[in-house]
Amino acid sequence: MTPQIVDSHTHLDFPDFDEERDAIVARAVEAGVTRMVTICTRLKNEPRVRAIAETYAPVFYAAGTHPMSAAEEPMATVEELVALAQHPKFVGIGETGLDYHYTAESAAVQQESLRIHIEAARQTGLPLIIHARAADEDMARILSEEHRAGAYSCVMHCFSSSAELAQAALDLGFYLSASGIAAFPRSKELREIFAAAPVDRILVETDAPYLAPPPHRGRRNEPAYTAHTARAIAPLWEMEFPDFARQTSENFDRLFTKAASATITDQGQAT
């Protein structure tokens, strides 16, 4: 049997998939991907992302304002995010976070947006989905400050930051998610960071259509390729791929409890 695995972060609403979304989801299921979380990065697009989750039984969704868009979009409110979370297939808050690589000029707005998303995660009990790039010090500080103010759960999506930020996140009980970057030949230091983390705090993702792992690097990524990343990094914990796939699926269930407990109808609805 094909080992079952979860793609914890993808973007099925992106135009890269418009011409063959049915086939993309079908290939993922054939490759053993039992569930996919498709991420809305601008709240104005939430109805479109929600419709995709409603169409496909294995697809769940999350929504938030991406930090690179924080200065361009209306500021999200806690109430707005909490209301969206009432949908049975809405399973996470974000992605949100800090990105100073391209958008450092909006750092203050990003930080305000991040704190709003954290409060929504706290109120809903859903995991926060964090994007972090070139902002390690501020990210660790804000996550820690907010956690002291009230606990919440979190995954550091597509983690490719420093060992210090990884440890700060792990110390708070958070999870690290590995994308195709972790499978790149030159990502030795990143793999060492993952290897130092407990395997029961690891998720895998594609971040499709970006960051395709070998042997598809440089081409459009898709959820079916989740297994390529998982196969590449399973040896970090001296695990065979089927065992690692099972472990990361269990980790997903522990963090994304709403997705784990959902009963899906043939029409893709969650109850």
At 201, which CATH number?
A: 3.20.20.140
Largest Cα separation within the chain, whole Å, is 50
Range of the domain at 247: 5-261
Q: Is residue 255 part of a domain?
A: yes
51 is a domain residue: yes
The domain total for the chain is: 1
DSSP per-residue codes, 42-106: SGGGHHHHHHHHHH-TTEEEEE---GGGTTTSPPP-HHHHHHHTTSTTEEEEEEEEEEHHHHGGG
Q: Is residue 267 part of a domain?
A: no
Mean pLDDT per 10-residue interval, the chain, length 271 residues? 96 96 98 98 98 98 98 97 98 98 97 98 98 98 98 98 98 98 97 98 98 96 98 98 98 97 60 53
Angle at the Cα of 108 from the Cα atoms of 102 and 114, rounded to 5 degrees: 85
Q: Are strands 154-156 and 128-133 parallel, antiparallel or unpaired?
A: parallel
**66 marked among binding-site residues:** no
Domain contains 28:
yes
Contact 80, 55 (CB under 8 A): no
Residue 271: predicted pLDDT:
53
What pLDDT does 266 receive? 47
270 is a domain residue: no
207, part of any domain:
yes
131 is in an annotated binding site: yes
Amino acid at 6: V
pTM: 0.95
Q: Cα separation of 154 and 161, whole Å? A: 16
Does 268 map to a domain?
no
